[in-house]
């Protein structure tokens, strides 16, 4: 048999496999760059998920997760038949919708406002004041909220008293719980959330604003017709994240 030196013809599946291997090899540096983040998510987010099976067991610490007996939907039935089930569901949905309605637009408004301020001491001061609460621990934040809302010595009640309004026990009256809970979260997270939108606004083409100014567009019109459409994809991504977060049971 004569050796022709020609390589054997590859099948379609073999060609696809070779193409995939070449693409993976060409992008090997990108995959190595993503690898640490993937490992962190896998180790700390996915592996612990096996613990959800506790909901279907009568968990006994001495027996462990796998050794505890299976009980099926027993705990879910008990929860659904609980006297407080509908109150818990109503409060959870109410707080989630409240957080979404109030917390979603505020970072956008703040980012648009900061974007319109010229670089200088005032802009740096505004950014520092709005970003700072994000770096305050939850324990310190709760202490500050308790101090601010104190009915006798709190700053908020002093302001209300100045306008002739009687002091309000915010932390004792149940009807104020949702407002305090949501607004405290907004106070802590709005500044940091605006960073994402400011990064998106940095990609706006300045020539669009220059052309709009020549055409006589006001600042508000430029914000509405140029800035907002530019950050719309970012808004869609973040609102989907907020909607997912709202489904978590947080109370």
Per residue, what are the HEC states of 159-173?
A: HHHHCCCCCCCCCCC
Calpha distance 79→138 (Å, rounded):
30
CA separation, residue 247 to residues 30, 115, 117, 186 (Å)? 33, 32, 36, 18
The backbone region for 183, taken as left when phi is positive above 0, alpha when psi lies in -120 to 50, beta otherwise, is: alpha
Which band of pLDDT confidence, cut at 50, 70 and 90, is reported for residue 189? confident
Window from 15-19, 23-27, 47-51, 230-234 with minimum mean pLDDT: 15-19
pLDDT in tens, 73-123: 988 899 899 888 999 889 888 888 898 888 889 999 998 988 888 877 888
Does domain 83-251 fall under CATH 2.130.10.10? My reply is no
Calpha distance 141→188 (Å, rounded):
8
Q: Report pLDDT for 39.
A: 92
Long-range CB contacts for residues 162-165, cutoff 8 Å, separation at least 24: none
Which band of pLDDT confidence, cut at 50, 70 and 90, is reported for residue 240? low
Q: Report pLDDT for 242.
A: 60
CA separation, residue 169 to residues 89, 95, 160, 184 (Å)? 26, 20, 12, 16
pLDDT in tens, 47-66: 888 888 888 988 888 888 88
Asked whether the whole model's pTM tops 0.95, one would answer: no
Which band of pLDDT confidence, cut at 50, 70 and 90, is reported for residue 9? low
Displacement of CA 238 from its chain's centroid (Å)? 7
227 with 112: CB under 8 angstroms?
yes
Terminal-to-terminal C-alpha distance of the chain: 79
Range(s) within the chain of domains with CATH label 1.10.3720.10:
83-251
What is the DSSP secondary-structure string of the chain? -----PPPPPPHHHHHHHHHHHHHHHTHHHHHHHHHHHHHHIIIIIGGGGGGGGGGB--BTTTHHHHSPB-TTHHHHHHHTSTTHHHHHHHHHHHHHHHHHHHTHHHHHHHHHHHHSPSSHHHHHHHHHHHGGGGS-HHHHHHHHHHHT-TTT-HHHHHHHHTTPPP--TTT-GGGHHHHHHHHHHHHHHHHHHHHHHHHHTTS-HHHHHHHHHTT--HHHHIIIIIHHHHHHHHHHHHHHHHHHHTS---
Neighbours of 108 (CB within 10 A): 22
Q: What is the mean pLDDT of residues 22-39?
A: 87
Q: Is pLDDT above 50 for 249?
A: no
**Overall residue count recorded for the chain in this entry:** 251
């Amino acid at each position: 048999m004569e050796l022709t030196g020609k390589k054997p013809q590859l099948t379609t599946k073999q060609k696809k496999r070779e193409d995939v291997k070449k693409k993976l090899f060409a992008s090997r540096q990108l995959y190595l760059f993503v690898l640490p983040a993937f490992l962190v998510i896998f180790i700390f987010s996915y592996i612990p998920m096996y613990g959800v099976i506790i909901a279907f067991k009568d968990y006994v610490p001495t027996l462990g997760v796998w050794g505890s007996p299976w009980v099926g939907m027993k705990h879910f039935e008990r929860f659904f038949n609980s006297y407080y089930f509908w109150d818990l569901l109503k409060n959870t949905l109410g707080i989630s919708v409240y957080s979404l309605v109030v917390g979603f637009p505020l970072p956008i408004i703040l980012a648009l406002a900061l974007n319109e301020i010229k670089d200088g001491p005032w802009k740096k001061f505004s950014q520092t004041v709005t970003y700072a609460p994000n770096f305050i621990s939850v324990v310190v934040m709760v202490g500050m909220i308790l101090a601010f809302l104190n009915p006798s010595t709190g700053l908020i009640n002093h302001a209300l008293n100045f306008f002739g309004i009687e002091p309000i026990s915010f932390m004792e009256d149940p009807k104020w719980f949702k407002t305090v809970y949501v607004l405290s979260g907004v106070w802590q997270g709005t500044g940091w959330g605006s960073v994402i939108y400011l990064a998106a606004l940095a990609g706006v083409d300045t020539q669009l604003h220059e052309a709009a100014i020549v055409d006589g567009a006001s600042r508000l019109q430029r914000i509405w017709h140029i800035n907002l459409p530019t950050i719309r994809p970012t808004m869609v991504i973040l609102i989907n994240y907020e909607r997912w977060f709202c489904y978590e049971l947080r109370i």
